[in-house]
Copies of this chain bind each other. A is one copy, B any other.
Amino acid sequence: MTQPMNDRFLRACRCQSVDVTPVWLMRQAGRYQPEYRKLRERHPMLELCTTPELAAEVTLLPLRRFELDAAILFSDLTVPFLAMDVPFTLKENVGPVIARPVRSDNDANALRLMDPEEDLPFVSASIRILRRELHVPLIGFAGAPFTLAAYLVEGGPSRDYSRVRALMYSRPDLWQRLLDILAENVTRYLRSQINAGAQAVQLFDSWVGALNPVAYRKTLLPAMRRIIAALKPLGTPIIYFGTGTASLLEAMAETGADVIGVDWRVSLDEAWQRIGTERAIQGNLDPAVMLASPDTVRSEAEDILKRAGGRAGHIFNLGHGILPDTPVENVQVLIDTVHEGSGSEG
């Protein structure tokens, strides 16, 4: 395994100084790229995720076109469900649809503890291919327990995740059991990704913003701390990202994650103060900005760099996944703006 030549991203994760601010984009391998759309015409989503050569190829697509400072393994939040005996389908333009949502003790007891190497060998295989090809660090990832539980309990994406919150309040015992199973599986899954060669991991807690800080601290924080404490000894930076987390930032920092990913709903400077500037931050351009003119992309990205103030520990990203309608040219404009606009301060 050769060391990556570009280590800006890993240095920023550790709050070390960098020449220019590193940038990668959530869903950087995605529908905004014509090459990706072409591949998706021939292969369903899960086939791309579970076939090492294809997953590696998709992961590399955006790297071939743009000077991104990190790659993220092409996969899906639902992949661990394949190892947990949870039947589901991925519905186009909707997301995962869980065949039998988890709502009873029996449903929870049916969830299997996974053996990632045995159950999902394609993940490690994809990572090993990618480490041979890449000259930037490779990020592995998993959904965080709340977000996985949200899918399992709701049966799919939801507007306000009220059913999962109702379960949390009405069946605290079942809720804890569900979180325990998910936390253990997430730990195993990320550990196996790191062992295969992932140089950083991101926990996606996309829907955790449905909770308030009291509920978060009471029911979720212990599980998150357990995952992060188990992975910490491996020495790999851990990014913890959520959306709608304006009231949760302090609690998210208490998990011990190295980097907190924030969405566009908060101002980066204020968010960083609340997280603590000894910890790295990732974010946070509104993905909707990427549908506007190149000039707007430039000025909004510059505003975020200004808020970061050239301080060590900023990883530039969007506040959530890149939108499918994003013009490819704007991605180039964004990356150039970040690299050029941050050089003088770095």
* Residue ranges of A at the interface with B (Cβ–Cβ < 8 Å): 157, 159-160, 162-163, 165-166, 168-170, 209-215, 244, 246-247, 264-267, 270, 286-289, 291-293, 296, 300, 303, 320, 323, 325
Contact = CB atoms under 8 A, between A and B. Distances in A.
Number of copies: 2
A288 to B, nearest CB: 4
Contacts of A210: 265
A260 to B, nearest CB: 15
A247 B162 CA distance: 21
A288 B211 contact: no
Contacts of A169: 286, 288-289, 291-292, 296, 300
A263 to B, nearest CB: 9
A52 to B, nearest CB: 31
A322 to B, nearest CB: 11
Contact of A157 (B157, B159, B247): B159
B288 A323 contact: no
A291 B286 CA distance: 34
Nearest to A264: B212
30 contacts: A160-B320, A162-B323, A163-B288, A165-B286, A165-B288, A165-B289, A166-B288, A166-B325, A169-B291, A169-B296, A170-B292, A170-B296, A209-B265, A210-B265, A212-B265, A212-B266, A212-B267, A213-B266, A213-B267, A214-B267, A214-B303, A215-B286, A244-B244, A244-B265, A246-B246, A246-B247, A246-B265, A247-B265, A247-B266, A247-B267
